[in-house]
Each structure stands twice: as structure tokens, then as C-alpha cells.
């Protein structure tokens, strides 16, 4: 889509030039040259080429803080995605984190290659080939290799989800043919790659005969819910977030948990909170597993992004954002920062490993649930 089309689609022409976006933006805070307001203004004045060749196009975290506050309701996220598609046409590519390894892995999955990615799931509990419930695992098997030296193993999240579902009497489908959900490709401006991955995933789920697809990863959930439906219409199955599902089960008394001592705080993932509107379920679960839960100064709708998105442009600015956020979590007096997104966990663990003065445990919520399930 060209810039004019983009301006129309995102209703950027309603911009009031108020600067609320730039004022709310965590990137602009540490990289003062970055300004969403200016990019919108330039696009409106027909001067998009002023920024389309800049790295600024790739600096946005698509965290939706600006969109959420914009008085004119401009869809900055779609705008950011659209200008990336345009920038790619001018050969302006972002700087992929980890030398582009993730992008390669995602690209390879668009071929019909036969993966070998579920051995761990069979060991974690009981899974099925076909059935009502499908657990969409996402990139965890790949993360587990790439972040093998991190304190918590990314695949533990997957193992925990399977254990919890099993405890609830559910034997989910976990498929060897599941592919990357395409979230990062979409936000990297690669719409066609995204569509290929999405079409393949819809097929895999249909073949498994599943009617309820459960996601732990907020990105997968958000992208299925909003973009799979946008490009492929009715999917023929329900897209359910694991924490919504679990919170319901807890309310219904289908699972009992023992609280453990200690004070915890919680990082709202952008995609789960501002983008999917799921704030309560994780909090209900936290209150079921911890005796003391304190919010950070900026939480819920005001929460701050974990600093990098789409494995793109991980910079000193990302590290500033992460360090600052970790300090904010410590200021609550909590001993543990609970994350609900595998990437938040990875990004914060990375920052905590070398930024001085950071002393707080970082745990995924599923880990707390499994401990609580086994008696606290």
C-alpha cells in the first residue's frame, strides 16, 4: 500500500499534531530524534521520503502506547507496519537482532519442510494428534536452543502449559507441522511471508479437527485473533488465550492452587494488555498463586514495553528501556517479576544479566502456577 493509501486506512489525516504519541513513546524517551508525530506529519504533507530511508522506520516497538492515547484515534501500529512495507521497497531494511537468525528460521518455515519440534512435549505430559483442543506452542522450541544459556528455559513454558492442561483433564494437540505464527514477519513488513505461514497454520489446525486453539504466547494470540481473521475470514475455530481459559477454570473451582510466600509484581505484555485487552485474567491467576502482589508504577494500560519487538533493532535504547523497567519492578519491593510473554522473559533476563544493580527474579506465570498446583 502506498503512503496515501496508508494515510487513509489509518485515518492519519485526523492528526491534531498534539505530540501525545511522541510524549508517550518509550523509544522517543531515550532516542530523542525518534518522533512518531513527525512521521505522521510528514506522511500527511507528502514528504514520507524524508524518513522512509531512515532507521527510525524500524525503531518503533509497536507497543501501542501512542495509539492507545492518541486523541484522534489514529492507528499508529498499522501506520508503522505500512511504512515498513514501503521502506523495504526502497531497500531500507532494519537491523535484525541476532544477525537475522530468527528471520531465517521463519522464512524456512514457509516451505513445506517437515520439522522435528515436539519431542519435548511428549516427555512433558500427554498430547494428542487430533482433538478438540490445540495448543499453539509458537517459537519456543527454537528459542530454547538459541537462549540455552539463559537462567530459565523457554520450553519450560510449553511444558508447564501441557502439565496444567493435563491436570484439567485436557490432552491438547501439539503438532510437528505447526509453523511460526508470522507475527514478526508481519511487523517486519513482510506481508506475503506472513500470509504463507498463516495459511499453513490454519490448514494444520483444521486437519487436527480442533475447534479451540489455546495460546500462551500473546503475539500468536493477537495475530490469530486480529490478522488471521483479517486476511482469511472466519477461521472455523476459537482463538483462546491460556490465561483467560485458566482464570475461568480457577473461578469454577476446577483447579486448586496453594499460594507461595513472597512479593511479586507483573509485566503486562503489550500484545496481551493494550492490544488484546487482557488485563484481569493474569492478575486473577497471580492472586491465586502469590500471597502478595504489587503493581508497578506504570501498569495495565500504562505498562511499558520490554524493549524490542520482532527481533529487530535491539539497541542501547532497548537496554535503557529494559534497565529502567527492571528498576521500576524492583522499586515495588517485589522479589519476583512475573512475565506472561516468552519474549518479555527473554529480553528482561538478557538485560538483567549485565545491567548493574538489577536484583529481582524473573519468572513466567506458568512456572508459578505449576508450583502452586503442586502444593505451593
Partner 1 sequence: MVRQLVALLGIEDERLALEWVSSAEAARFAEVVTSFTQKIKELGKSPLRLAA
Which positions lie near ligand SF4, rule CB under 6 A? 15-21, 24-27, 36-37, 40, 60-66, 70-72, 74, 76, 80
Residue closest to 340 by CA, chosen among 239, 225, 216, 253: 216
Query: What separation in angstroms does the CA of 237 have from each of 178, 213, 228, 280, 290?
Result: 15, 7, 12, 24, 34
CB 221 within 8 A of CB 271: yes
User: Total residues contacting partner 1 (rule CB under 8 A)?
Assistant: 16
Contacts of 175 (CB under 8 A, 6+ apart): 118, 129, 134, 204, 208
203 binds partner 1, rule: CB under 8 A? no
Grouping H, G, I as helix, E, B as strand and the rest as coil, residue 17 is coil
Smallest gap from residue 24 Cβ to ligand SF4 (A): 5
Between CA 199 and CA 227 the distance in angstroms is 12
Closer Cβ to ligand SF4, 35 or 210, answer by number: 35
Q: Which of 41, 42, 100, 115 binds partner 1 (CB under 8 A)?
A: 115
Q: Strand 212-215 vs strand 336-339: parallel, antiparallel, or unpaired?
A: unpaired
C-alpha cell at 223: 495475530
130 Ramachandran zone, left/alpha/beta (phi>0; psi -120 to 50): beta
Smallest gap from residue 65 Cβ to ligand SF4 (A): 4
Smallest gap from residue 304 Cβ to ligand SF4 (A): 9
Other Cβ atoms closer than 10 A to 150: 16
Please identify, among the stretches 67-75, 138-146, 191-199, 346-354, the one whose residues bind partner 1 according to the rule CB under 8 A. 138-146
From residue 82 to residue 101, what is the string marking binding to partner 1 with x (rule CB under 8 A)? -------------------x
Between CA 321 and CA 156 the distance in angstroms is 26
Only one residue has cell 529480553, namely 347
Q: What is the CA radius of gyration of the chain?
A: 20
Smallest gap from residue 69 Cβ to ligand SF4 (A): 6
Smallest gap from residue 196 Cβ to partner 1 (A): 11
Smallest gap from residue 160 Cβ to partner 1 (A): 20
Closer Cβ to partner 1, 149 or 316, answer by number: 149
Closer Cβ to ligand SF4, 83 or 200, answer by number: 83
Residue closest to 320 by CA, chosen among 23, 20, 22, 32: 32
Q: Which does 114 bind (CB under 5 to 8 A by kind): ligand SF4, partner 1, none?
A: partner 1
Q: Which of 79, 142, 227, 266 binds partner 1 (CB under 8 A)?
A: 142
Q: Which of 32, 112, 253, 375 binds partner 1 (CB under 8 A)?
A: 112
C-alpha cell at 168: 484439567
Strand runs labelled E in 63-189: 133-136
Q: Which does 63 bind (CB under 5 to 8 A by kind): partner 1, ligand SF4, none?
A: ligand SF4
Q: Which does 79 bind (CB under 5 to 8 A by kind): ligand SF4, partner 1, none?
A: none
44 binds partner 1, rule: CB under 8 A? no
Contacts of 27 (CB under 8 A, 6+ apart): 34, 59, 60, 61, 317, 321
C-alpha cell at 73: 484515534
Between CA 88 and CA 85 the distance in angstroms is 5
Q: Which of 108, 126, 297, 333 binds partner 1 (CB under 8 A)?
A: 108
Smallest gap from residue 32 Cβ to ligand SF4 (A): 13
Q: Which of 20, 88, 146, 294 binds partner 1 (CB under 8 A)?
A: 146
Smallest gap from residue 323 Cβ to ligand SF4 (A): 17
Q: Which does 24 bind (CB under 5 to 8 A by kind): ligand SF4, partner 1, none?
A: ligand SF4
CB 292 within 8 A of CB 362: no
114 binds partner 1, rule: CB under 8 A? yes
Q: Which of 141, 189, 288, 323 binds partner 1 (CB under 8 A)?
A: 141
Amino acid at each position: 500500500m502506498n503512503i496515501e493509501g496508508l494515510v487513509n486506512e489509518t485515518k492519519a489525516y485526523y492528526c491534531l499534531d498534539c505530540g501525545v504519541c511522541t510524549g508517550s513513546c518509550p523509544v522517543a524517551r531515550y532516542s530523542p530524534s525518534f518522533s512518531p508525530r513527525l512521521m505522521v506529519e510528514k506522511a500527511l504533507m507528502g514528504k514520507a521520503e524524508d524518513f522512509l530511508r531512515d532507521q527510525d522506520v524500524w525503531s518503533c516497538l509497536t507497543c501501542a502506547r501512542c495509539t492507545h492515547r492518541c486523541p484522534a484515534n489514529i492507528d499508529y501500529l498499522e501506520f508503522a507496519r505500512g511504512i515498513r512495507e514501503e521502506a523495504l521497497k526502497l531497500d531500507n531494511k532494519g537491523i535484525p537482532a541476532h544477525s537475522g537468525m530468527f528471520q531465517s528460521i521463519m522464512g524456512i518455515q514457509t516451505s513445506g519442510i517437515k520439522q522435528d519440534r515436539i519431542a519435548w512435549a511428549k516427555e512433558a505430559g500427554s498430547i494428542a494428534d487430533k482433538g478438540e483442543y490445540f495448543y499453539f506452542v509458537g517459537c519456543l522450541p527454537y528459542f530454547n536452543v538459541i537462549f540455552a544459556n539463559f537462567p530459565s528455559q523457554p520450553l519450560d513454558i510449553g511444558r508447564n502449559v501441557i502439565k496444567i492442561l493435563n491436570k484439567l483433564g485436557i490432552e491438547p494437540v501439539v503438532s510437528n507441522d505447526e509453523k511460526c505464527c508470522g507475527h514478526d514477519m508481519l511487523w517486519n513488513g513482510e506481508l506475503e511471508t506472513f500470509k504463507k505461514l498463516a495459511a499453513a497454520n490454519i490448514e494444520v489446525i483444521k486437519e487436527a479437527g480442533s475447534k479451540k486453539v489455546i495460546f500462551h504466547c500473546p503475539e500468536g494470540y493477537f495475530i490469530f485473533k486480529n490478522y488471521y481473521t483479517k486476511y482469511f475470514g472466519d477461521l472455523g475455530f476459537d482463538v483462546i488465550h491460556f490465561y483467560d481459559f485458566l482464570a475461568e477454570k480457577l473461578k469454577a473451582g476446577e483447579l486448586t492452587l496453594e499460594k507461595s510466600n513472597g512479593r511479586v509484581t507483573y509485566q503486562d505484555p503489550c500484545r496481551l494488555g493494550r492490544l488484546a485487552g487482557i488485563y484481569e485474567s493474569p492478575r486473577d491467576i497471580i492472586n491465586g498463586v502469590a500471597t502478595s502482589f504489587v503493581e508497578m508504577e506504570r501498569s495495565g494500560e500504562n505498562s511499558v514495553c520490554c524493549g524490542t519487538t520482532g527481533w529487530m533493532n535491539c539497541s542501547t535504547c532497548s537496554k535503557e528501556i529494559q534497565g529502567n523497567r527492571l528498576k521500576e519492578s524492583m522499586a515495588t519491593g517485589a522479589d519476583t517479576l512475573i512475565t506472561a510473554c516468552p519474549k518479555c522473559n527473554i529480553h528482561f533476563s538478557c538485560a538483567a544479566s549485565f545491567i548493574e544493580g538489577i536484583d529481582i527474579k524473573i519468572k513466567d506465570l506458568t512456572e508459578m502456577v505449576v508450583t502452586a498446583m503442586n502444593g505451593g
